[in-house]
Amino acid sequence: MMRAFTTLAAAVTIGLAGSAWAAEQIEIPEYRWSHEGVYGTIDRAAAQRGLQVFQAVCQSCHGLKYVYFRTLKGIGYDDDQIKALAAEYEIEDGPDEWGEMFYRPARPTDIFPDPFPNEAAARAANGGAYPPDLSVIAKGRPGGLDYIVALQMGYEIEPDGFELADGKYYNAYFPGHQISMPQMLFDEVVEYQDGTEPTMLQHAKDVAAFLWFTAEPHYDTRKEMGVRVVIFLVVLAGLFFGVKRALWRNVKKH
């Protein structure tokens, strides 16, 4: 319903600015996400599995520099779990009273530490490419989560005649098809704690669900508030309509 509404609203008010691009892009497969729709919420189990995939695979190159460990409460971890989860990371702190920097275990109030000390180091380690921070990537790519999944699933042998540059990989969905990131997801990259079957597609969808949470940590609150606000405004508009009609009824017949 939402999709129909937004499309209609766009056609009426915007003159179809957004959909104009769709035609020239590669068709990406669409999946159903539990958070879609008016009452949809983030699938916490999927996001937790996605965090597992992120920790096992993505975080060796990609940062999450806007995400505090305490934020993970939003996908169902309790304080102790978050404390333990944070403590697995070492972060640089300081200077101490001797002016020295030191490492300590991360606390819930820390952010996910960046894998590289700076952009130059990241590029040096990745053949010149800079792995983008993933905090808001789900909102920063046309196609959003569907694109993230498609990208993970889109590694192929390059077609005949396609000139692939050194250190690049062919990806059916990446703009220009030459991506510096090698294929990272395969079947059974991680063994899920909740026993879900660890297929490659499952990994990709779970990590996308997690990245939707990192991009919109207040997503569920927003939707819940939205339902109340819209109902409130509809009732209020109805009341004002009644007042207006009662008032103006006398005017026309006057």
Chain contacts with other proteins (rule: CB under 8 A): 2, 5-6, 9-10, 13-18, 20-21, 38, 66, 68, 71, 132, 135-137, 139-142, 144, 175, 215-218, 222-223, 225-227, 229-230, 233-234, 236-237, 240-241, 243-244, 247-248, 251-252, 254
Nearer to other proteins, 9 or 188 (CB): 9
CB 203 within 8 A of CB 53: yes
Nearer to other proteins, 13 or 193 (CB): 13
160 or 252: CB nearest other proteins: 252
Residues 158/159/160/164 CA torsion (nearest 10 deg): -30
Contact 27, 183 (CB under 8 A): no
**CB closer to other proteins, 10 vs 56:** 10
Question: Contacts by 81-88 with C-beta closer than 8 Å and gap 24+?
Answer: 82/108, 83/107, 83/108, 86/110
Nearer to other proteins, 168 or 203 (CB): 168
Q: Minimum distance between the CB of residue 70 and other proteins, rounded to whole angstroms?
A: 10
Nearest approach, Cβ of residue 223 and other proteins (Å): 7
- Phi, psi (5° rounding) for residue 170? -85, 125
Closest distance between other proteins and the C-beta of residue 194, in Å? 27
Tokens at residue 74, please? 């939003």
> Closest approach of Cβ 128 to other proteins, in Å?
13
- Minimum CB distance to other proteins smaller for 121 or for 239: 239
Nearest Cα neighbor of 40 from 220, 245, 229 is 220
- Output the smallest distance, CB 226 to other proteins, in A: 3
Nearest approach, Cβ of residue 193 and other proteins (Å): 26
| Spatial CA neighbour of 74 closest among 209, 193, 228, 192 | 209
Q: At what angle do helices 200-215 and 44-56 cross, to 10 degrees?
A: 100
